[in-house]
Structure formats: C-alpha cells, structure tokens
A and B are shown apart, each in its own frame.
Chain A
Amino acid sequence: DTEVTQTPKHLVMGMTNKKSLKCEQHMGHRAMYWYKQKAKKPPELMFVYSYEKLSINESVPSRFSPECPNSSLLNLHLHALQPEDSALYLCASSQVSGQLNTEAFFGQGTRLTVV
C-alpha cells in the first residue's frame, strides 16, 4: 500500500464553521506534512510532524490547528477561516531519515472553498 488517503476530496465551509481534514497512510512513515496550494503556485509547507510530534510550523495562523493522533493519521482542524484560505490542501508522508531515499508520497488533496 503506497497510498496517502485524504478526506474529504471537496469541502465548502462558511467562515463561522468548524471542519476537519483527514489524512491517513499505512506505509509506516513517521513524517507527515500539510501543504497549502493556491492555483498556479507551488505547494507551500504548513506543518511537519515527526514521530507524532509537531516539528515545524511555518508561521501558520491559529485558525489552522494540526493534530497527529497516531502514526498513521494526521488531521487539520479548521475554524473561522477566511475566503483567502480557499485552496488545495495536500497531505504527504515520508520516512524520517537524513540519508536514505525518503520519497514523499502525496495524497490527492482536499479542495477547500470558504464562503
């Protein structure tokens, strides 16, 4: 199984809503990532979890709250988002290693629209 599964595929939410994005992998990867991608732009790193601990937060606003309940799951909790937060949210996972081939696998993303 070399898949990263993200749900939902599409999400429309109001600015007062609370929603969560989910990401799951069963490759035994201990590094998991959240990226945000706007149209015609590269993915921008948001958060990195290593061994279920938050290791990198790229100055992301607190209305985005990540959670890693176990080594296979990564959530992104959303609250009080703005229309400019509308984007494709990508989850990725990889081995944690400085030297080995640490290919990062990406999920298909959640297309989020904030209205």
Chain B
Amino acid sequence: GQNIDQPTEMTATEGAIVQINCTYQTSGFNGLFWYQQHAGEAPTFLSYNVLDGLEEKGRFSSFLSRSKGYSYLLLKELQMKDSASYLCAPHGGSWGKLQFGAGTQVVVTP
C-alpha cells in the first residue's frame, strides 16, 4: 500500500514563494509526480522526478529524496492563478500504479 502525507492548506501573498512538502511510503517506487488541479477541472501535469535532486521548470521546481521518501514542490513569484490544489503522486508498484495524496490547497492573496 501507500501512505502519502502533504499539508492540507497553505496561504501566501502574490509574489511570494511557497514550498509544499510531501512524504510517502510506497511498496515500490518509480518516480513522483506533482499535479495542479483547479476546482472542477482535471489535474494538469507539473513535474515528474525519478532521480534525487532538484528539477526546475520556470517558476516551479520539484525536489526528490528517494532514501527519505520525501519530495517538495516550490512555487516562486506566486500569481493569483496559482491558487489551486497541488497533488503529490508517487508512482509505485511493478510498473505504474499512480495514487494521489490528499492535495494541498494553496491560496494566493493580493
């Protein structure tokens, strides 16, 4: 099975930086996804980490430590449109069982 832990909600102001932590325990591990989901919409892909370290993609960066079962998503220069739920999804099992954490609701205020 899988245990995935991430904070329920985080609030930050426009232009600030927010770091969303995720810890996980999986029966197998191939990589870890981060998805963004606006209310009523489908999840959209942000990042996929396979190896340890930081991957940067514009304003968003994702970090993985496989030995610690830990990842974080860093959102820089926050914009109002970044208000959404951010889902941590370890990709485990023999080839590809994708399950989601409960999601972190990020609220960006003016």
Binding site for B on A (CB under 8 A): 31, 33, 41-45, 48, 50, 56, 88, 90, 92, 94, 96-99, 101-109
Contacts and interface: CB of A to CB of B under 8 A. Distances in A.
B62 to A, nearest CB: 13
Contacts of B95: 31, 50, 96-98
B50 A101 contact: yes
B50 A106 contact: no
Contacts, number: 63
Contact of B100 (A31, A43, A101): A43
Interface residues of B, number: 25
Interface of B: 30-31, 33, 40-45, 48, 50, 85, 87, 91, 93-103
A42 B96 contact: no
Given A33-B98, A43-B100, A45-B97, A102 B48 contact: yes
Most chain A CB inside 10 Å of its own CB: which residue of B43, B87, B99: B43
B47 to A, nearest CB: 9
